[in-house]
Amino acid sequence: MSDIFSSLKISGSGLSVFRRKMNVAAENLANAETTKTKSGGPYKKKEVEISAKGVKQVFSKQLNSASVQLARTNPGHVPGVPIARSNDLKVMHAEATEVTDPNQKFRLVYDPDHPDADEKGFVKMPDINPLMEMVEMMTAARAYEANVTAIKTIKDITRKSLEI
């Protein structure tokens, strides 16, 4: 039963990570023209770094604790062949961190009538490509859907196993 819950935790962490990635892409799109923030300068593009966070328990221990010995119902059946397992595999969870590059460049747009224009008429704008942000959002949405599908599959497998 712990394998089912660890699978749900892994997919749940994926849902959380890709929801955060979609939110950051939406925030970048919304601020693509923001020239002044609370800190004083133009909006700085945010990105999400995704990393794997290990779980304390080794995967093979989880697998062995959840294993069930199958009974031979027919003497003609061939007994199972033991499979070599690596003991260093660990169950991983996805983790997201929002980062902003402090040395981020800005694009200069000539607009002398803009209130934030410098003496030469240039305005510092965030270096955000709306097309790339939409691609990021679509990619995150597909990954989110994949995690939802994995959770639905785990539910279906669990329901079917309870019917046996």
Q: What is the pTM of this model?
A: 0.71
- Backbone dihedral angles phi then psi of residue 90, each to the nearest 5 degrees: -120, 150
Alpha carbon dihedral 25, 27, 33, 35, in 10-degree steps, equals: -130
Tokens of 143: 């990954």
Asked if 62 and 4 touch (Cβ cutoff 8 Å), the reply is no
- So what's the pLDDT on residue 83? 47
Contact between 16 and 50 (Cβ < 8 Å): no
Question: pLDDT (tens digit, 0 to 9) for every residue of the chain, 164 residues total?
Answer: 456 777 888 888 999 999 999 999 999 999 999 988 888 889 999 999 888 776 555 555 655 665 555 555 666 666 655 444 444 445 677 888 888 888 888 999 999 998 888 999 999 999 999 999 999 999 999 999 999 999 999 999 889 888 87
Confidence at residue 85, expressed as pLDDT on a 0 to 100 scale: 46
Phi, psi dihedrals of residue 53, rounded to the nearest 5°: -115, 120
HSE value, Cβ hemisphere, 13 Å, CA-based, for 4: 12
Rounded to whole angstroms, the maximal C-alpha distance in the chain is: 91
Of 88, 93, 71, 89, nearest to 80 by C-alpha is 71
Residue 146 CA to residue 40 CA, distance in Å, equals 40
Spatial contact of 95 and 53, defined as CB atoms under 8 Å apart: yes
Q: Evaluate whether 100 touches 127 at the Cβ level (below 8 Å).
A: no
Partnered with residue 100 across adjacent β-strands are: 46
Strands 106-110 and 46-58: unpaired
pLDDT on residue 116: 87
